[in-house]
Amino acid sequence: MLTPVNESAHVDVAIVGAGPTGATAALAFARRGARVALIEGHPDAAQRFAGEWLHPPGVRTLRSLGIDVQALAARQGHGFAIFGGDGEDPVCLPYDSGCSIARVHEELVFHLREQACGNSLVQYLPHHVFSALEGNTLQLLDRSHDRRVSLRAERIIGADGRGSKVRAALGGPLESEQLSYMAGLELEDAPLPFEGLGHVFLGGPGPALLYRIDERRVRACLDIPVACPTSARRSEAVYAAFRSALPAQLEPSLRRAVAKPFAWASTGVRTRTFYGRDKAWLAGDAIGHVHPLSGVGITLGVMDAEAASRTTSLEEYRRERDAHVAEMLASVLYLAFSRTDASALRIRRGVLRMLRSSAAERRRTMRLLTGEDRASTSFADAFLHATGHVVLTGAESAVARRQSWSEWARQLRVDVGWLKWPLHAWAPALGAISRRGAGSRPSVAAPTRSAKTTNEWRSLS
């Protein structure tokens, strides 16, 4: 049993938050010989509806830390299938290598905590809420004994999620953009079209993400964008909106699931630009988060955790954990899959057409999405491939439909607006070229990566 901390306590590393990121970080630091305090304010918060799908790079990271991923996984996955809601065949996107794992969030977190606490160098402090940071001393509220305690640490890791108090204490920017509400239903006895794949269904108010969490149950994450009225979140409205977006074989289980109470989570985005200060670093959602459609949050978190234990400077850590490309792809896919204006529908068709027609693009998209390919140029190239075609076919169909030039020019202006995304992706590379003075600089007024904020994300959207 672990002993509670007292006023004079001193550890090598204090980790705030024992979610997937914090629990992994505790294990990673302890394996390097550090004495770790793992501080968790609300252990039962893990019972909420949150991430359950971990991509292969995250699975490999956990395995490298000695975690038995076979025991952790309730199910394994081999990639995704996207159903465009357009009557065409679904697109299957297999992983290049390795498998994903899926497990109910609470079980996943408890398993990782157990693994961390199994290391004798980790001291777990449940019901301790971080409240302030003074130099390298953390102020905590011990809720079990209703007393304040302090703890000194050589290194502090803020793994306390989206509402991170450590981030606030370090003066990190706090704004984030709410995107949607997501209903988390459990569909029982629901046969998925492709067992072993995550399924994305378009055609509802927002995308639906479905995957198996055990032998009997399928998780359905049903997205209702913030622009929808509150009434869209009533059970009967959720059923009506998604019933036709899902295959007929899932209808009976959807009907049964909405008849019971189910969980909601709010989704949002904050770009990963602030990684901490001095000896206090952030990890996981405390750095930033994207819409859950791409299921990449936990993968990024566990990879942050491992990298934090290994890198020796904040700059090295920040460089290694840059996830600019995975973030952009997650955001642009969510926009194309949730917006219902004509331009978004054209982009959606362009993306699906590109994926349907090219095995190489399917592979590249998965590598970008899971963070295995982090090259901005790959993202920009793939996106241009999808949107360039949209612009060209828009011109062709304008001619065929005898659309007026002014109408087509209007359409083109909106479609071309999407090109801000690849330009944004290119910005760091262009900056690097100009810094090195190699060749002539392209005439693009590119924003720098470090200046990218959530507000810029809003302007892109």
Ligand X SMILES: Cc1cc2nc3c(=O)[nH]c(=O)nc-3n(C[C@H](O)[C@H](O)[C@H](O)COP(=O)(O)OP(=O)(O)OC[C@H]3O[C@@H](n4cnc5c(N)ncnc54)[C@H](O)[C@@H]3O)c2cc1C
Could you list the residues that contact ligand X (CB under 6 A)? Answer: 16-22, 39-42, 45-46, 49-54, 129-130, 159-161, 165, 182, 184, 221, 265, 267, 284-285, 289, 292, 295-299, 301
Q: In angstroms, rounded to a whole number, what is the distance separating the alpha carbons of residues 125 and 122? A: 10
Q: In angstroms, rounded to a whole number, what is the distance separating the alpha carbons of residues 207 and 368? A: 20
Among 410, 415, 360, 357, CA closest to 384: 415
Amino acid at 19: G
Determine how β-strand 128-134 pairs with β-strand 198-201.
unpaired
Cβ-based nearer residue to ligand X, 296 or 336: 296
- Residue 265, strand partner residues: 182
Number of separate helices (H) and strands (E) present in the chain: 16, 18
**In sequence order, which residues have a C-beta less than 8 Å from that of residue 281 and are 6 or more positions away?**
155, 156, 157, 158, 275, 308, 314, 317
Provide, rounded to whole angstroms, the least separation between the CB of residue 454 and ligand X. 16
Cβ-based nearer residue to ligand X, 15 or 386: 15
Provide, rounded to whole angstroms, the least separation between the CB of residue 343 and ligand X. 27
Provide, rounded to whole angstroms, the least separation between the CB of residue 4 and ligand X. 15
Provide, rounded to whole angstroms, the least separation between the CB of residue 195 and ligand X. 17
Cβ-based nearer residue to ligand X, 35 or 127: 127
3-state secondary structure of 101: strand
Amino acid at 322: D
Provide, rounded to whole angstroms, the least separation between the CB of residue 333 and ligand X. 14
Provide, rounded to whole angstroms, the least separation between the CB of residue 229 and ligand X. 20
* Furthest CA-CA distance within the chain: 79
Provide, rounded to whole angstroms, the least separation between the CB of residue 23 and ligand X. 8
Cβ-based nearer residue to ligand X, 160 or 361: 160
Whether the Cβ atoms of residue 272 and residue 327 lie closer than 8 Å to each other: yes
Q: Which long-range contacts (CB under 8 A, 24 or more apart) does 375-380 make?
A: 375/325, 376/324, 376/325, 376/425, 376/426, 376/427, 376/428, 376/429, 377/425, 377/426, 377/429, 378/325, 379/325, 379/328, 379/329, 379/422, 379/425, 380/421, 380/422, 380/423, 380/425, 380/426
Cβ-based nearer residue to ligand X, 126 or 350: 126
Token pair 């985005």 is found at: 269
3-state secondary structure of 341: coil
Whether the Cβ atoms of residue 37 and residue 9 lie closer than 8 Å to each other: yes
Residue 69: half-sphere exposure toward Cβ, Cα within 13 Å: 22
Cβ-based nearer residue to ligand X, 139 or 377: 139
Cβ-based nearer residue to ligand X, 46 or 423: 46
Provide, rounded to whole angstroms, the least separation between the CB of residue 49 and ligand X. 5
Cβ-based nearer residue to ligand X, 46 or 241: 46
Provide, rounded to whole angstroms, the least separation between the CB of residue 401 and ligand X. 41
Cβ-based nearer residue to ligand X, 77 or 394: 77
Provide, rounded to whole angstroms, the least separation between the CB of residue 243 and ligand X. 21
Whether the Cβ atoms of residue 223 and residue 201 lie closer than 8 Å to each other: no
| Crossing angle of helices 20-31 and 105-117, rounded to 10° | 20
Cβ-based nearer residue to ligand X, 47 or 434: 47
Provide, rounded to whole angstroms, the least separation between the CB of residue 288 and ligand X. 10
Q: In angstroms, rounded to a whole number, what is the distance separating the alpha carbons of residues 248 and 243? A: 8
Q: In angstroms, rounded to a whole number, what is the distance separating the alpha carbons of residues 238 and 254? A: 10
Cβ-based nearer residue to ligand X, 55 or 349: 55
